[in-house]
Amino acid sequence: MATKKGSKKKSRFGEVVQADVPLGRSGKHHALVTELLHDLNELKPGMALKVAIADLGTSKAKIRSALLRVSKATKAPIATSSDAKYLYIWKTLDGKPIKP
């Protein structure tokens, strides 16, 4: 069906002010990863975080993956290791802060 000249076709999509558009993606593990990175930035050089896997609320693989994505995006390398009970996290280069 043709529209009349000068009339607008109603959009099927909503509108929002651009300033109200959320920037970035906060995934499921955002809060935990932010807390881990904060604690990591507070560590003295040569120290590592020791996080109980039982306290993570998810698998260590998912948290490790989320941490390494942030590390890569911010170009602030971290390393992780784990054993049966703990996940260990430390900064690998010059102690530069990591922003989530």
pLDDT band for position 2 (cuts 50, 70, 90):
low
Fold entry, domain 29-91:
Arc Repressor Mutant, subunit A (1.10.10)
> What pTM, to 2 d.p., does this model score?
0.68
User: Residue 37 corresponds to which amino acid?
Assistant: L
CB-hemisphere CA count at 13 Å for 75? 0
Looking at the DSSP bridge assignments, the partners of residue 52 are 86
CA–CA separation, 81 vs 83, rounded Å? Answer: 7
SS3 percent helix, strand, coil of the chain, rounded to 5, is: 35, 15, 50
How confident is the model over 5-62, as pLDDT tens digits? 666 778 888 888 888 887 776 677 788 888 998 999 898 888 999 999 999 888 989 9
Can you read off the two tokens belonging to residue 49? 């975080």
How confident is the model over 48-67, as pLDDT tens digits? 999 999 998 889 899 999 99
